[in-house]
Amino acid sequence: MTKLSVNINKIATLRNARGGAEPNVIKAALAIQNYGAQGITVHPRPDERHIRRDDVYALKDAVYTEFNIEGYPNRDFLALIKDIQPDQVTLVPDGPDVLTSNAGWDCVANQDMLTDIVSELKAYKARVSLFLDPDPSQIEAAKLTGTDRIELYTETYANQYSSGAEKALAPFLAAAKEAKIQDLGVNAGHDLNLENLKYFRKTIDPLEVSIGHALISDALYYGLNNSVQMYLNQLAVE
């Protein structure tokens, strides 16, 4: 079964909008895990507009499933990873002014930098995943960095799904096949939701999906426990 890692950035966004400690990200992370999710994801950004650095330290002892930390690998981020030593680090190419992740790495242009960073992260005992567009040539280049996995950036799939699921998925299927050839694990994330997740899981069968905005939004209508169950059902093997 594909693992569900829930990104709790939006919990922190809501908390920060009012100030104070509610909703509490630690309490939310514990609840999400108790409801059956197999991981917690956070993406701390330099401006701390959602998850803050102190949240990440507090979550270190609260996450008893898989702790996945996403981010751009500047020195502050790498120092945080050294301190926390999460199960997985997902490297994204976002600059500090980016609202949300909107592109994968160019592993050809950034080959040397990524190779050095992947090596450093592995010294901290973290599994490494690179956020990538569904481009087989980039997957070949990603392999050369020493990364363990890739995370397919699924926004185009989500945007095109309603116009034709098979066509929308085609580049991701090609990318997943190349990843298998390169012996790289496949994760996926961005705009996956209750409408498009099941088809993606059945066809690509990723090791893990990271879902935040859609699941937390659904929790407003269905409740957090129900929403986690609904996403787990979409990932279940029939």
Task: Give the active site residues.
Answer: 43, 70, 190
55-75 burial: b if 16+ Cβ within 10 Å, else e: bbeebeebbebbbbbbbbbee
Q: What is the CA radius of gyration of the chain?
A: 17
- d(Cα 142, Cα 138) in Å, to the nearest integer? 6
Task: Write out the DSSP string of 154-202.
Answer: -HHHHHHGGG-HHHHHHHHHHHHHHHHHTT-EEEEESS--TTTHHHHHH
Cis peptide before 44 (omega within 30 of 0): no
3-state secondary structure of 149: strand
A 10 A CB-CB count for 47 gives 9
| Under 8 Å between Cβ of 3 and 207 | yes
Contacts of residue 130, defined as CB under 8 A and 6 or more positions apart, other chains included, come to 90, 91, 104, 105, 107, 114, 142, 145, 147, 149, 150, 151
